[in-house]
Amino acid sequence: MSTDDLAAPAALAPHLGTVLDALAAGAATRNGPLPAGGPAAVAEALGRVLADTGGADPLRTLTTALAAHSVDPLHPDCAAHLHCPPLAVAVAADLAASAVNASLDSWDQAPAAIEIENDVLRSLAGLVGYGPRAAGVLTTGGTESNLMGLLLARDSAPDHHRATRTAVFASTAAHFSVARNASLLGLPPAAVHLVPTDDRHRMDPAALHAALRAHRARTPAGEGAGPSVVVATAGTTDLGAVDPLRALAETAHAHGASLHVDAAYGGGALFSERLRPLLDGLPLADTIALDLHKLGWQPVPAGVFLARDAARFDPLEARVAYLNAQDDEDEGYLSPLGRSLRTTRRADAFKLAVTLRALGRDGLGRLVDRCHDLARHAAARIAATPGLELTAEPVLTTVVFRCTDPRLDASATDEANARARRALLAAGRAVVGRTELGPGPGAIRLKLTLLNPHTTEERLDALVDAVAAAGREAAAEVVPATAGTA
Amino acid sequence: MSTDDLAAPAALAPHLGTVLDALAAGAATRNGPLPAGGPAAVAEALGRVLADTGGADPLRTLTTALAAHSVDPLHPDCAAHLHCPPLAVAVAADLAASAVNASLDSWDQAPAAIEIENDVLRSLAGLVGYGPRAAGVLTTGGTESNLMGLLLARDSAPDHHRATRTAVFASTAAHFSVARNASLLGLPPAAVHLVPTDDRHRMDPAALHAALRAHRARTPAGEGAGPSVVVATAGTTDLGAVDPLRALAETAHAHGASLHVDAAYGGGALFSERLRPLLDGLPLADTIALDLHKLGWQPVPAGVFLARDAARFDPLEARVAYLNAQDDEDEGYLSPLGRSLRTTRRADAFKLAVTLRALGRDGLGRLVDRCHDLARHAAARIAATPGLELTAEPVLTTVVFRCTDPRLDASATDEANARARRALLAAGRAVVGRTELGPGPGAIRLKLTLLNPHTTEERLDALVDAVAAAGREAAAEVVPATAGTA
């Protein structure tokens, strides 16, 4: 094979064989979900491979190194982030998208991919409960979908001056990208109003009502008023908390605000008969973010942005002579250029179209339920394990907890948990998550995010035991330090 | 195989075989670079396939349909857009990235992918002529890279008020995403200043000087002044025009403005000894956009954003408890979270790392030169073909021209060219581009974008002849209509 072969099927075949061999060979060098030795060891090993720029088969060499030195989401002891093991059928479909290399910015680069994306969006709009006026677009993920939600809210203003006065209301537990996106959109820091949560980390509708009322009182109506948008969260990253969507929608709309729902994580509950009731009220949202690369088992990216009414996209419409001339569109050569912030855009919907047919909603629902079961199992095990403290019962598929030791104060407990997690990483033993609940000493928690439906209760028990052991070792390291500084 | 198999190599193998078979079977149903029949035929055929949600092997069925009804960038008669046929080795590497499913927002989701991205960025920073202080990030493409250029210019302001006063200077030939991105960033329409071009569609440094001076005269210096950023284009989408980067950099910097270079297309000239001199002055840019999914033969996306000084990224730095806690970073667990607008982000650098080693800069340079040769050949053929009018000599790999007929006025000539292009599409015969040079009647042009280095001069001659024939037929259709309405 020649190095400059193009991606025709016959030319691809030998390269794909190389990749499969190398992925297996690389993974076989690990004893756990990641290589042992921590960042320095990974950097040194990769550095050696990358420095050899004259090798005969860089695809094999680099793929082996990638697999050997990655954190493997297929490994049962990889349970830190919303970082799923992808389905084989979805990865294969993604290969087809790469080989065909369609770009959805014009019809004449993507006739089939555009039809397929529209079909997937219709399915997902139906899944969330939207009617026939809905529209959407594939995105790189929740962050971009949330950006689009804020952007289209901002640009629903009748003029630039009022758009600059957009007010955003999100709970203190909302994703960090809400504030980051508001800044990207040019809104001042004071544009983001943090709404208090209840004791289960859900936005409090009464608090939202108060915040919206206070904002209106500060802002004279009429020419100067900007749009208000409420960002609700269906599935916070840490605790999986789902805001009360119906009540928030009613509150927002009563105040003339629109509602964007960040369902990047919790949207997966739509596939599950058991969890779906958590999302009651979702169809009342003006716009929604979903991420099928979380509870959807897609390779990244499989973000989705949906609007209840296609007219929401009007401010994004673009007419570009080289992409979508009016007379070509009149003849049916339509493109979704006016749906996306990007121009060139690959056919990420293709893997979703295949997955939705291969597994069906029910098949995906079974995977969601299995991960929910695993989370409940892990929570029970944690609650029953001395030296571990469960923070809250799981809502979706995350379990938040920490290691405790009666000899440690709040700061030392934080230090012990952070150390325990790093020790598991450095040993190549396990990848568990870490977060902070609120400010100040004692806030650090560990987290299991269960996205591998094929793991077993026995593996999970062993993982919990390993974390507890690491916690005990870390506590023993921290105790003398605390004593010394007390 | 089970539908919910995860993407381990053994589970992937049969699915990949299905994909290769189906890609070949689908392509074999076409007689040209796209299916005949236009949008209605594609919609009908896809609609039939998509309506059958109970099929036994959706991966095979949908992949066959995708290949059958796509515009095939590997076909020599697909020559419309900066929509390249990807290298087999790059598509295979992309499969590895999908299977491993690393996400670059935290170390513990991507230890190897982060090292590999850093290595690729160092290589590309060296390629553009940047020194060791450079930094960068992979993006979804030129539009996102150009957004980052404007964002980091805006947020170099010391406060929000001054950031809202950012002024953008771009030529009338700059990509449409410059104005779109400025709007996304919350800048008013008047923030974008269009700078006139010379007779070869390049930004005129004297005109830029005048525009910057006029802006300063309107804007008192001191507390109220916002940052100014000049967006130069290295390779316009249509004519491949490359702005005089050195002169523009000197002009911009003399006025205290920064320089962002949109080299999404022309950056490929860096691989070519012959074309590289066009980019003289590129290392003087503060930030640069490259797209290796154009003259780099990568599957989408392979966008790159580079900054001459890593400090340019400071406004984007983010500290997020669940992703990059300070004490973890102190222990070496570093991530590029603060480089990207996204959170979850796949390892798009991996295919670049493999490609840069498999082909080398020289290998990519040979492909660039070959496409440049093909463009010059096509231009000569067009100039020698009656009924075709060459608009300009090619600079990079595009050839802009139109069909002419002495019986047609400017508007009718536009109509005939638009019809000729659609006729070639509807027949499934060829995919050629279309654009407009300036406003008003007579602006429409056709375009060949030559990105397939494996096509031949003979195939290209036949393509030019087919366009000329389509132009004659369209002219014959338009003539009576013109006569009737005159």
Residue A320 and residue A103: Cα distance in Å, rounded?
15
Mean pLDDT of A204-216: 97
B448 close to B376: Cβ distance less than 8 angstroms: no
Residue B352 counted as domain residue: no
The C-alpha of A228 sits at a distance from chain B's nearest C-alpha, in angstroms, of 16
Backbone phi and psi for residue A294, each to the nearest 5 degrees, phi listed first: -110, -105
pLDDT at position A107, please? 97
How far off is chain B from A105, nearest CA to CA, in Å?
Answer: 10
| SS3 sequence of chain A | CCCCCECCHHHHHHHHHHHHHHHHHHHHCCCCCCCCCHHHHHHHHHHHHHHCCCCCCHHHHHHHHHHHCCCCCCCCCEECCCCCCCEHHHHHHHHHHHHHCCCCCCHHHCHHHHHHHHHHHHHHHHHHCCCCCCEEEEECCHHHHHHHHHHHHHCCCCCHHHHCCCEEEEECCCCCHHHHHHHHCCCCHHHEEEECECCCCCECHHHHHHHHHHHHHHCCCCCCCCCEEEEEEECCCCCCCECCHHHHHHHHHHCCCEEEEEECCHHHHHHCCCCHHHHCCHHHCCEEEEECCCCCCCCCCCEEEEECCHHHHHHHCCCCCCCCCHHHHHCCCCCCHHHCCCCCCCCCHHHHHHHHHHCHHHHHHHHHHHHHHHHHHHHHHHHCCCCEEECCCCCCCEEEEEECCCCCCHHHHHHHHHHHHHHHHHCCCCEEEEEECCCCCCCEEEEEECCCCCCCHHHHHHHHHHHHHHHHHHHHHHHHHHHHHC
Cβ-defined contact of A70 to B177 (cutoff 8 Å): no
Residues A110-144: tens digit of each pLDDT:
999 999 999 999 999 999 999 999 999 999 999 99
Given B27, B331, B344, which is nearest A293 (Cβ)? B344
Please compute the mean of the pLDDT values over residues A360-382 and round it to a whole number: 98
Which chain A residues have a beta carbon less than 8 Å from that of B301? 344-346
| B76 domain residue, yes or no | no
Give residue B439's pLDDT: 86
Contact A357 B144 (CB under 8 A): no
Nearest Cα of chain B lies from the Cα of A20 at a distance, in angstroms, of 5
Which residue in chain A has the smallest CA separation from B452? A6
CB A300 within 8 A of CB A351: no
Q: Do B331 and A39 touch (CB under 8 A)?
A: yes
- Reading the block at residue A258, the tokens are 């629109």
pLDDT of residue A308: 98
Question: Which residue, among A341, A327, A112, A325, has the nearest Cα to B435 in the 3D structure?
Answer: A325
Size of interface A-B (CB pairs under 8 A): 472
Sheet hosting strand B258-263, strand order edge to edge: B135-139, B303-307, B287-291, B258-263, B228-233, B167-171, B192-195
**pLDDT digit string, tens, across residues A426-461:** 999 999 999 999 888 999 999 999 999 999 999 999
Based on the domain organization, do B19 and B162 belong to the same domain? Answer: no
Cβ distance B90 to A16 under 8 Å?
A: no
Of A59, A147, A160, which is closest to B358 when you measure between CB atoms?
A59
Give the domain-ending residue among B300, B315, B345.
B345
User: B115, A55: Cβ pair inside 8 Å?
Assistant: no
CA A357 to chain centre: 22
Please check whether residues A137 and A206 belong to one and the same domain. yes
Please judge whether B22 and A96 are an interchain contact, meaning their C-beta atoms are less than 8 angstroms apart: yes
Contacts of B1 in chain A (CB under 8 A): 88
Q: 10 Å Cβ neighbour count for A221?
A: 8
pLDDT more than 70, % of chain A: 98
In a domain, B288, yes or no: yes
- Euclidean distance between CA atoms A87 and A6, whole angstroms: 26
The answer to whether the CB atoms of A67 and B100 lie below 8 A apart is: yes
| B7:A87 CB<8 A | yes
Q: B322 and A12: CB-CB below 8 Å?
A: no
pLDDT tens figures, A259-315:
999 999 999 999 999 999 999 999 999 999 999 999 999 999 999 999 999 999 999
Residue B356 is assigned to a structural domain of this protein: no
Does the distance separating the beta carbons of A96 and B66 come in below 8 Å? yes
Residue A2 has pLDDT above 90, yes or no: no
Which residue in the set B39, B50, B92 is minimally distant from A111, CB to CB? B39
| Residues A329 and A447 occupy one common structural domain | no
Record: contact A93-B291, CB cut-off 8 A: no
Q: Do A95 and B93 touch (CB under 8 A)?
A: no
Which residue has tokens 């003399």? B254
β-pairing, B135-139 vs B303-307, is antiparallel
Distance from CA of A245 to the nearest CA of B (A): 24
- B224 shares its domain with B176: yes
Looking at the structure, tell me whether residues A40 and A142 fall in a common domain: no
> Is the distance from CB of A192 to CB of A222 less than 8 angstroms?
no
Residues of B in contact with A93 (CB under 8 A): 19, 59, 62-63
**Beta-bridge partner residues of A97:** none
- DSSP-derived secondary structure for B127-196: HHT--TT-EEEEESSHHHHHHHHHHHHHTTSSSHHHHTT-EEEEETTS-THHHHHHHHTT--GGGEEEEP
Q: What is the pLDDT of residues A376-389, one digit of tens each?
A: 999 999 999 999 99
Domains: count for chain B: 3
Contact B38 A332 (CB under 8 A): yes
What phi-psi label fits residue B261: left (phi over 0), alpha (psi between -120 and 50 degrees) or beta?
beta
With respect to residue B75, please indicate whether it lies within any of the assigned structural domains: no
> How close B23 gets to chain A, by Cα (Å)?
7
* Residues A468, A472, A477, A483, CA torsion sign: positive
Question: How far is it, in rounded angstroms, from Cα B478 to Cα B407?
Answer: 10
* R_g (Cα) of chain A, nearest Å: 24
CATH of the domain at A408: 3.90.1150.170
User: In this complex, which of B151, B342, B359 lies closest to A141 when CB atoms are compared?
Assistant: B342
Chain B closest-CA separation from residue A61 CA (Å): 9
Where among B345, B374, B409 does a domain terminate? B345
**A418 contacts B22? CB cut-off 8 A:** no
Between A39, A88, A343, which is nearest B111 by CB? Answer: A39
Tokens of B313: 């990224």
Structure tokens that stand for A175 in this block: 């994703």
Give B211 to chain A, closest Cα distance, Å. Answer: 24
For residue B329, being part of any structural domain is answered with: yes
Inter-chain CB proximity A39 and B333 less than 8 Å: yes
**How far apart, in Å, do the first and last CA atoms of chain A sit?**
67
Residues of chain A with C-beta less than 8 angstroms from the C-beta of B23: 9, 96, 99-100
Q: Which residues, in sequence order, are CB contacts of A376 under 8 Å at separation 6+?
A: A393, A394
State the smallest CA–CA distance between residue A283 and chain B in angstroms: 24
pLDDT tens figures, B276-326 = 999 999 999 999 999 999 999 999 999 999 999 999 999 998 888 889 999
Give a yes or no: residue A284 inside a domain. Answer: yes
C-alpha distance from A148 to closest chain B C-alpha (Å) = 10
Among A49, A70, A91, give the residue marking a domain's end.
A70
C-alpha B299/C-alpha B294 separation (Å) is 9
Specify whether B449 is located in the same domain as B414: yes
Widest CA span in chain B: 79
CB contact under 8 A, A63 and B238: no
Q: What angle do CA A333, A334, A340 make, to 5 degrees?
A: 145
Q: Are residues B453 and B370 in the same domain?
A: yes
Amino acid found at A452: N
Count Cβ atoms within 10 A of the Cβ of residue B51 and give its class: 0-12 exposed, 13-18 middle, 19 or more buried.
exposed
Q: Residue A236: its chain B contacts at CB < 8 A?
A: none
Judged against a pLDDT cut of 90, whether residue A145 lies above it is answered with yes
B197 secondary structure, DSSP code:
B
> Cβ of B99 and A86 within 8 Å?
yes
At A486 the pLDDT is 41
Q: A327 to chain B: which residues are within 8 Å by CB? A: 418
Per-residue burial over A100-119, b if 16 or more Cβ lie within 10 Å, else e, is bbbbbbbbbbbbbbbbbbbb
Are B156 and B274 within one domain? Answer: yes
Helices A142-154 and A177-184 sit at what angle, rounded to 10 degrees?
A: 50
> Side chain identity at A87, as an amino acid letter?
L
- Cα–Cα nearest to B356, from B127, B83, B135: B127
Domain membership of residue A290 (yes or no) is yes
Task: Pick the residue of A343, A447, A450 with the most B CBs within 10 A to test the interface with B by mutation.
Answer: A343
Summary mean pLDDT of chain B: 96
Which tens digit of pLDDT belongs to each residue from A230-247? 999 999 999 999 999 999
Quick check: B6 and A88 CB within 8 A?
A: yes
List Cα–Cα distances, B380 to A299, B377, B384, B460, in angstroms. Answer: 46, 5, 6, 11
Give the helix/strand (H/E) hosting B362: helix B360-383
B chain contacts of residue A332, beta-carbon cutoff 8 Å: 38-40
Instruction: Spell out, as residue ranges, where chain B has pLDDT lower than 70.
Output: 1, 221-223, 481-486
Same domain for A401 and A336: no
Q: What is the pLDDT of residues A73-98, one digit of tens each?
A: 999 999 999 999 999 999 999 999 99
Q: Which domain holds residue A172?
A: 102-345
Which residue has tokens 């060979």? A25
β-bridge mates for residue A192, sequence order: A168
Q: Does the distance separating the beta carbons of A91 and B7 come in below 8 Å?
A: yes
Mark whether A331 and A384 lie in a shared domain. no
* CATH code for the domain in which residue B335 is found: 3.40.640.10
Three-state SS at B287: strand
Q: Which of B2, B5, B6 to mutate to test the interface with A (most CBs of A within 10 A)?
A: B6
Query: Percent of chain B scored above 90 by pLDDT?
Result: 93
Q: Which of B59, B92, B299 is closest, CB to CB, to A354? A: B59
Is B108 in contact with A431 (Cβ distance < 8 A)? yes
Q: Are A275 and A215 part of one and the same domain?
A: yes
CA distances from B167 to A391, B196, B226, B229, B306 (A): 50, 16, 7, 6, 21
- Cross-chain CB nearest to B359 (options A3, A345, A447): A3
What was the pLDDT predicted at A219? 82
B29 plus B160 within the same structural domain = no
CA distance, residue B87 to nearest chain A CA (Å): 4
